[in-house]
Structures are given as structure tokens and as C-alpha cells.
Structure 1
Amino acid sequence: MNDTVTSNDGTPISYLKLGEGPGVIILHGAMESARSHFELAKALSDSFTVYLPDRRGRGRSGTYGPDFSIRKEVEDVDALLSKTNSHFVIGVSSGAIIALNASLDLKAVHKAIIFEPPLMTDNLISADWVDRYDREMSAGNVASALVTGMLGTQMGPPSLQRMPRWFLIMMTKLMMTLEGSSGGTEGPIPMKVLAPTLHYDVQLVIEMEGMPNDLLNAIDINILLLGGSKSPPYLKAAVDRLEKAIPNAKRVEFEGLHHGATGNKNRGGQPERVASEVKSFLGLE
């Protein structure tokens, strides 16, 4: 079922709803949309009512607006929690940055599951690539911009970092051609359509860079930290930092999985495995 909630600044936030039980909101990451975690939602739907929002700038949701910040994303979550009477939040990647801030600021959040937020910890990654990505997007070189983003965020197997750039661009163009240019109602939004949203996800990462441990120490709810054993070192370091800083944090690492662990199976996810840990943490398995 599709529905919409209006955020504090009037922006409509579209979401999918499935299942029955206590409400859980899943916040997707960069280069994703509501449908990217549909299989995880389905695996949870026997115990929960699951809400899958399209974050700002995606699908039927409204645009970012001129003063976009993490505060806007947290206000979107607040509106969803209020309308659905939900108290559990799952945040994936950049969505996990939003979930962390919601856990700190919103009393309606009673428990949160945080999967590999891309925090710039221990100088293991930087955002130096963003200017190049923005130039390539402005010039209409979408495939090249996506390769810049993929390399900059260290996504995919390490072997990709060693491949010639021209080859990666060629393969990305082929993948975009196979996907098509517009998303249907039953599948994720194509890469070409999502490409401009990456700029704003990186904006959240940069905004979070200076978040002091004192704020993380102030998160007073139970947190489940999730990660994959094959994820990039900077993501593991981010989870390490959260585990040390958040008082009521439990950590689970999925052996053999990577940053796509929570996603649909066609993107390398194992949603049933993740759902089992979520249910256990929320007391329903």
C-alpha cells in the first residue's frame, strides 16, 4: 500500500506499508529508494507493520529544498513516526546517519537498528571526490559521476578500485541501459534517476563529520549496530566508534556479507538473516 505524510516544512514523503504489528520504519541509504529493502520488509512483515519511505528527492516524495540538512530528514522521520504511531527505526548507510540523529532527538524512537553509517572516522575516507562528481553531473556525464562516487565511497569489491576507469564507465553505461530510465511501481528506481541524489547523501556525511562523542554518549535508548565482515574498513571503523560511544549498544557482524547485506537479494543482500537479528533485538524472536 502506498501513502504519503507531510513533513514539517510541507514536503510530502511517500512510503510503502506492509505487514501487521508494531511499526518499524526503514530508512534506505544512498543510491536507493523505498523498494531497495522490500525483501527485508517482507521478512519482518509477519511480526511488524513496516514502513518504507522514499527519502527526499526520490520517487513520489518531495524535493530537498534550498535549506536541506540532516534536520530536514529527521523532521521527515518525526512526521512518519507520528502518523504511523511507530517506535522502531532501521537506518541503512546514510539512512543510519538519520536514524542516529532521530535516536538522539526524537522521544518517539524507542529502539533503533543502525547499519554501517558512513562516518569519516580515523581519516580512512574523505569527501575529496565530491567536486569531481558534481562537475561530471553538471556536464551530463552520469556514468562517469557514478564511477567517481563508487570509487570515492569504496563500494564494491576491492578489485574494482584497480580496474581501468574507462572500463568501469563502459560497464556503468551498459547497466544503465539495461535498467532503463524510469522506475516502475514494482522495482527500485534506476541508477540514472538516483544519480543526482548522491550529492545530498554526501552532504549528510560531511555534516556528521564533526559530531562529537558527547552526543553519541547521550543516546539513551537500546541500539543494535549491524555490519558486514566484508565491508570497507572505514565502515567497520565507524561501527567500532559507535560501539564504544553509545551506552546501550549491541553489535552483530554478518560473516561473509558486505555493505549491501540489508538489501534485496539481487543486490547481494540476505534479508532473512538480517530480519532474524532485528526480531531478536526487538524481542519478537
Structure 2
Amino acid sequence: MASFVKNTTSSADGMIITYETTGQGPGLIIVHGALTDIEEYTELAVFLSGKFTVHLMQRRDREGHCELYKIEDDCEDLLAVQRATGAVLLFGHSFGGLVALETAVLFNPFERIIVYEPGVSIHGNWDWLTVYQSAMARKKYHLAFAVFVQGMGHSPLSKAPRWLATLILRLAIRGKEWQLKKKLLVSNLREHQEVKRLEGSYRKYATLSSPVLLAGGQASPPFIHDMLSILAGVIPASQVMMLPGLHHLSPQNGEVPALLAGHIVEFFDSPV
């Protein structure tokens, strides 16, 4: 079993950013998604550790304390980890994929980038966000979580009555897993407020010069396929890869990160 070494670095605003490192080879940073943390990506890191020195970056505001959060903070944090490690390869999942693309536009420190179903909103429906915020204000945390799951549109529960979706999720996600989700609900709200703010701004990714692999799962809903296709038409040195049997959460522990890891290695090892 691979071992992880905990490291820290300082971001531009003085925030201490934690990242955990394993493996050997060229440096690769993994940026996790919303409603999760680096612990959910250790299996993917282990699969990659034979080929790369993998750095799992813990994004800020995992406790929901940063009331003035903006995505540029995460971009500055990622740049700080990149400078501390010298890593020039980048993998971002979901909201972490959005952070990856935004960082590349702002600072361009990476030679190659993979984003798996990045949280880029092109024609989003944001009605759920107000309901989510209201549920949080009333401390109806299970309801807020169900509203989010339905609003994202990745789950069959998206079309279920809300009371039923809330009940099913309450029964399915319990114990330690639920405590983590509950802790991250505030951060999740602020992060998706940023996604909404960036709605339709994807055309700026036309300035990216690094090769970008736009990855996704064939089991994901059509709007994901459409979003990746649109991004491929904007980002100059990009390609789309849809993987059979994979879905939005596939990079995380307990899913199928081994299959994804093979394609990550192939892209980063391929000739420019």
C-alpha cells in the first residue's frame, strides 16, 4: 500500500494549504470536487503512484468558514502547490476541473491538463440554488443535500418527488459519510454560487495553449456530453474521451478509478 506524506504551503493570502504526496515520477496534482475532500481520491492516487509523484491538494474552506470565498482563491492555492512541488501535470474532477481550467487561464503553469466532467455551466438551471440556501438557513441539511443531488441532474433521483429523494438519500448516506457531506454543505453552496457566476464564461478557455483532455463517462447524462463537446470546440489543443461504464463519481474511492488511471497515464505519456 502506498504511503502518503503530508505537506503544506502558503497561498497568496497567507492561507495554509495542505497536500499529500505519494509515488515517484513526474509531478501530478489532483484537485478534488465539491462535497468531498482528498480522502476520496487516495485510490486513484495509488493507481497513479507507480508512474507519477502524485499530490492530492486539499481545497480550502472544507469547514465552511470562508464567507467571502471566490474561485480565484482556489486558483491561487493550486498555483501555490504547483510552485511548491514543481508539478506540471494536472487532473481536476467536477468542481476541481473548473478550478483547473480557471487556474490554467489565469496563470498557465501546467504543460498538460485532464479535466473529468468539469463543473462548467453553459445552460444551467439554477432554480434549485435558492431552495438549497433556504433549506440550509432552516438547518434542514438532509433536504438541502437532496435538493443539490436533484439539481445537479446526475442521479435517477433527479426526477423523483423531493420527499422521496430526501428519504432515500437519508437512508443511503449515513454515519461518517453523512457527517462529511453535512460538514461540506456550506462550502458546497458557496462553490456553486461561483459556478453560477461563471455561467457562460467558458469562451475564455480559447486562450489555453496546453493540451487538455476532456474526459467523461458514457453513463453520465447527455448534458455532460454536450458540455464536453462545446468545450472541445473552444479549447484549441483539446480532445474528448468518453469512457464506457463510467459516470460522474468514477474518479472517487469505491468506484472505478483503476480504469480512469490507465487513460490518465496514456494521455500524460503520449507524445506532444
Given the two structures, how large is their TM-score scaled by the length of structure 2? 0.91
Residue identity matched to 1:73? D
Q: Distance in 2 between matches of 1:50 and 1:149?
A: 30
Spell out, residue by residue over 1:67-113, the C-alpha distance to the aligned partner (whole angstroms, 9 max, x if none).
32221111000000011111111111111111111222223211110
Contact residue 108 and residue 208 of structure 2 kept, 8 A: no
Q: Distance in 2 between matches of 1:19 and 1:134?
A: 41
Shift of 1:52: 0.9
Structure 1 counterpart of 2:167: 170
Contact residue 70 and residue 207 of structure 1 kept, 8 A: no
Shift of 1:236: 1.6
Q: Distance in 2 between matches of 1:118 and 1:65?
A: 20
Q: Is 2:124 the partner of 1:138? A: no
Spell out, residue by residue over 1:183-207, the C-alpha distance to the aligned partner (whole angstroms, 9 max, x if none).
xxxxxxx212222221122123113
Structure 2 counterpart of 1:187: none
Structure 1 counterpart of 2:73: 72
**In structure 2, do the counterparts of structure 1 residues 105 and 180 end up closer, same or farther at CA, with 3 Å as the change threshold?**
closer
Q: Distance in 1 between matches of 2:109 and 2:202?
A: 23
Contact residue 35 and residue 184 of structure 2 kept, 8 A: yes
Residue identity matched to 1:37? Y
Q: Distance in 2 between matches of 1:120 and 1:110?
A: 25
Contact residue 118 and residue 238 of structure 1 kept, 8 A: no
Contact residue 120 and residue 234 of structure 1 kept, 8 A: no
Shift of 1:64: 5.9
Structure 1 counterpart of 2:265: 279
Q: How does 1:191-210 map to 2 (within 5 A)?
A: 191-210=181-200
Residue identity matched to 1:153? M
1:38 maps to which of 27, 36, 42: 42
Contact residue 149 and residue 158 of structure 2 kept, 8 A: no
**In structure 2, do the counterparts of structure 1 residues 212 and 264 end up closer, same or farther at CA, with 3 Å as the change threshold?**
closer
Structure 2 counterpart of 1:186: none
SS in 1 for 2:119: coil
Residue identity matched to 1:173? R
**In structure 2, do the counterparts of structure 1 residues 180 and 257 end up closer, same or farther at CA, with 3 Å as the change threshold?**
closer
Q: Distance in 1 between matches of 2:190 and 2:42?
A: 23
Q: How does 1:88-103 map to 2 (within 5 A)?
A: 88-103=89-104
Identity of aligned residues (%): 28
Contact residue 91 and residue 99 of structure 1 kept, 8 A: yes
Spell out, residue by residue over 1:206-225, the C-alpha distance to the aligned partner (whole angstroms, 9 max, x if none).
13213152x22110011111
Shift of 1:170: 2.2
Q: How does 1:226-237 map to 2 (within 5 A)?
A: 226-237=215-226
Q: How does 1:49-198 map to 2 (within 5 A)?
A: 49-58=53-62, 65-121=66-122, 123=123, 125-156=124-155, 158=156, 160-179=157-176, 190-198=180-188
Larger deviation, residues 82-91 vs 194-203: 194-203
**In structure 2, do the counterparts of structure 1 residues 107 and 29 end up closer, same or farther at CA, with 3 Å as the change threshold?**
same
Contact residue 119 and residue 234 of structure 1 kept, 8 A: no
Q: Distance in 2 between matches of 1:177 and 1:91?
A: 27
Contact residue 202 and residue 231 of structure 2 kept, 8 A: no
Gap runs ≥5 in structure 2: none
Contact residue 56 and residue 64 of structure 1 kept, 8 A: no
Residue identity matched to 2:235? I
Residue identity matched to 1:141? K
Q: Distance in 2 between matches of 1:243 and 1:168?
A: 34
Contact residue 132 and residue 148 of structure 1 kept, 8 A: yes
Shift of 1:66: 4.2
Aligned length: 267
Given the two structures, how large is their TM-score scaled by the length of structure 1? 0.87
SS in 2 for 1:245: coil
Gap runs ≥5 in structure 1: 183-189
